[in-house]
Amino acid sequence: MPIRDALPGAGALAVLQRNFGVWRKLLVPSLLGNFGDPLLYLLALGYGLGHFVGQMDGMPYITFIASGIVASSVMNTASFEGLYSAFTRMSAQHTYAAMLATPLRVSDILAGEVAWCAVKGLISAVAILIVASFFGAIQGPWVILALPVILLAGLSFGGVALVITALARSYDFFMYYFTLAVTPMFLFCGVFYPLQSLPPFAQDIAEVLPLTHAVALLRPLLTGHLPHEALYHTGVLLLYTLAAYVLGWRLLSRRLLR
Amino acid sequence: MNPAFLELRALHKRYGGREVLRGVDLAVAAGECFALVGPNGAGKSTTVRAIQGLTPTDGGEIRIGGRTLAEMGRTARADMGVVPQTDNLDPDFTVQENLWTYGRYFGLPKALIRQRSAELLEFMALSGYATQPIHALSGGMQRRLTIARALINAPKLLLLDEPTTGLDPQARHLIWQRLRELRRQGTTLLLTTHYMDEAERLADRVGIIDHGRILAEDSPRGLIATHIPGGVVELRRVDGELPDPQDLHRQWVSLSERVGDTLICYGSDLSPLLAHFGDDPAYRWIQRPASLEDVFLRLTGRDLREETE
C-alpha cells in the first residue's frame, strides 16, 4: 500500500463530525463526568493533601496539582476514547466497515478518530480549567496558549491508543496498556510532584514518556510563565503523534483491508 | 446484450495457504441483476469485498465501466452502494441521522442529503420512522434502512451481500419488490444469496459459485433446463427407513439423488414411478417442478458446510 494513501483527506472531517454527533446525544452524563471528576480530585488532593503539603515548587499545592490534573485528564480521556470507544466502533458496531463501503479510506477514519480523541481531551481539559479557576488555581496570560498544547497532547495520546486498538483482539488487551503505560505515566510524570524528586534512572525513563512533556509545557502556561525548552517538549509530542499515526495506519490497514 | 458494466477476470485470492478465489470470471451488463449463489465459504463475500477494492487480490482484474479498479482507486466507491451481510447501522443515531451521516461520508452537499434521505425513506416505506432510534426498528425495517442508506449516493452499481438472510416472508417480499423497482430504474445489481428462491425471483442471470470458482452461469430457467431433465418427485418413507432400497426407480428415471431419508427423482415422465409408489401407504411423496435449488444441490453437492464466512 503506497504511503501517500496515509495522508487523510476531507473525509476525516466527516468521521470527526459523526463522533461529535454521537457525543452530543450523551451530552449530560458526559459533561457531568468531565466536571465532576476534577472537582473531586481538586478537593481531595488540592485541599485535603495540600493542607499538609503547603507549597510545592514555589506555588500552593492546589495550583501545582491543577495543571497536572489537566494534563493527566487529557491523557486519560484521549486514551479511553482511542481504546474502548474506538474498539467498540471497529468491532462491535462495525462502524469502520460501514465507512469503508463509502469513498472514505483507512487514513480518513484514523485521522478522524485521532482528532476526535484530541477534541475530547480538550473538552475535559477545559472543564477542569473552569473548575480550577474557581479555586484560583489557574493564573496568568498564557492560558490561551495551553489550548493548542492540550490538543497536541490529545493527538499523541489518541494516536498511541489507536495503535493499541489496531492490535487488540478484545477489551481485556487494554488492561496491559493501562497498567504498563497509562498508570505509570499518571504516577511518575510530574503530575503530583516535581520530576526532580525521582531518582535519576526514573527521571530518564520519564523523559521519554509523552505525559512528562505535556506537564512540562502546561504547568508554566497555566501558572503565568512561558515554558523552558518549549520547542523540545513540543517536538517530542509531535514525534509521538506522527509515529503513532503512521504505525496505526499500517496496522489498521492490515486489519481492515484483508 | 449491453457491453459488460462490471467485469471480473481470473480473480484470485489466498488467505494464508487457503485459496478462497481460484479464478472467478464474471460479467454483469449495465442495468442487469446478477445473483451469485453458493454455499457458505464459497467465496461470495470475498468477491463482493474485492469489487469494492477492500481486499488486495492475488491475481486477476476488476473493471467497472471499462476502467480498472486499480486506476479508479477509492473513487470507484463513490458510484457504488453496498448492503453488507452484517448490519452496521449507527445505533446511537436515529433513522434519518443514519442517512445524513452516511451521506457526509460521500461528501455530498447537505441539501441534497436531506432531500434524498426523505425520498429514500419514502421508497423503503420508513417515512413514519424518520426520528425513531434504530433499536425501535424490527429486523426487516433495519434491513430496509440499510438498503436506503446504500442508495444515498444514487449508485450505478448496488452490491447486496445476502440482503434478506434471517427475515420473515413479508419483509423479504417488500425488499424484493424494491430491488426490482431499482433494476427497472436502471441500477445494476449484484447480489449474493444462498436462498435459491431469491435468486430465481430477482436475477436475470445466476452464477453458481463454489470453492472459489463459478461452476455455471445462465438465466434461472436456462440453468434448470440444462441441468435438470423435466420434473421432480421426492419420496420418503413414513417410518423413516431408506426409501426404495432395491433401487426400483432406476428403471423409470434416468437421474436421482439420495439426501438422507429422501429419494429425489428427476425426469420428464414420472408417472410409472408414481404408479408404483404413489398408492403405497408406507410412502409419502411430493411432485413439483424443478427449481434452481435442484441445480444448486446437484452442482455443489449435498455435504453440510460449516459457517466460515
Nearest-CA distance from A242 to chain B in Å?
Answer: 24
Distance of CA B228 to the CA centre of its chain: 21
Q: Which residues of A touch B148 (CB under 8 A)?
A: none
pLDDT score recorded for residue B308: 42
The predicted complex's ipTM stands at 0.94
Mean per-residue pLDDT for A176-197? 96
- The interface residues of chain B toward chain A in range 70-99, judged by CB-CB distance below 8 A, are 74-75, 77-78, 80, 82, 84, 86-93, 97
Q: For strand B188-193 and strand B33-37, is the pairing parallel, antiparallel, or unpaired?
A: parallel
Q: Three-class SS of residue B86? A: coil
Which among A223, A207, A174, A208 is positioned nearest to A56, based on CA atoms?
A223
- Specify the pairing of strand B188-193 against strand B205-210: unpaired
Provide the pLDDT for residue B304.
54
In the structure, what pLDDT confidence band is assigned to residue A14 with cuts at 50, 70 and 90?
Answer: very high
Tell me what pLDDT residue B194 has. 85
Average pLDDT over residues B243-266: 89
- Rounded to the nearest 10 degrees, the angle between the axes of helix A11-25 and helix A106-134 is 40
Please report whether residue A30 resides in a domain: no
Q: What is the pLDDT confidence band of residue B255, given thresholds at 50, 70 and 90?
A: confident
**Is residue A16 in some structural domain?**
no
Give B222's pLDDT tier (boundaries 50, 70, 90). very high
Over the stretch A93-136, which tens digit does the pLDDT of each residue have?
Answer: 999 999 999 999 999 999 999 999 999 999 999 999 999 999 99
Q: Evaluate if residue B303 carries a pLDDT over 70.
A: no
**Is residue A11 situated within a structural domain?**
no
The whole model's pTM is what? Answer: 0.93
* CA–CA distance, B228 with B246 (Å, rounded to integer): 24
3-state secondary structure of B146: helix
Q: What is the tens place of the pLDDT at every residue in B37-48?
A: 998 889 999 999
Q: With pLDDT > 70 as the criterion, what percentage of chain B qualifies?
A: 97
* A23 located within any domain: no
Instruction: Flag whether A67 is in a domain.
Output: yes
Look at residue A207 and tell me if it is in a domain.
yes
Distance from CA of A72 to the nearest CA of B (A): 28
What residues of B are in contact with residue A91 (Cβ under 8 Å)? none
- Tens of pLDDT, residue by residue over B90-130, are 999 999 999 999 999 999 999 999 999 999 999 999 999 99
Distance from CA of A244 to the nearest CA of B (A): 23
Greater model confidence, A223 or B39: A223
Judged by CB atoms closer than 8 Å, whether chains meet at A257 and B56 is answered as yes
What is the number of structural domains in chain A? 1
Geometric angle at alpha carbon A108, from A106 and A110, rounded to 5° = 65
Query: CB-CB: which of A18, A103, A258 is closest to B74?
Result: A103
Which chain A residues are within 8 Å of B101, Cβ to Cβ? Answer: 14, 17-18, 21
Report helix, strand or coil for A227.
Answer: coil
Per DSSP (E only), the strands in B202-253 are: 205-210, 213-218, 231-237
Considering chain A, what percentage of its residues have pLDDT values greater than 90?
91
Residue A21 lies in a domain: no
CA distance B88 to chain A (A): 5
Please name the residues in contact with B31: beta carbons below 8 A apart, sequence gap of 6 or more.
Answer: B2, B5, B183, B186, B187, B188
Arithmetic mean of pLDDT over chain B: 92
Q: What is the extent of the structural domain holding A151?
A: 35-256
- Tens of pLDDT, residues B138-184: 999 999 999 999 999 999 999 999 999 889 999 999 999 999 999 99
CA-to-CA distance for A214 and A232, rounded, in angstroms? 11
The answer to whether position A27 is within a domain reads no
- For B75, the closest of A11, A18, A103 (CB atoms) is A103
* pLDDT over 80 (residue B309): no
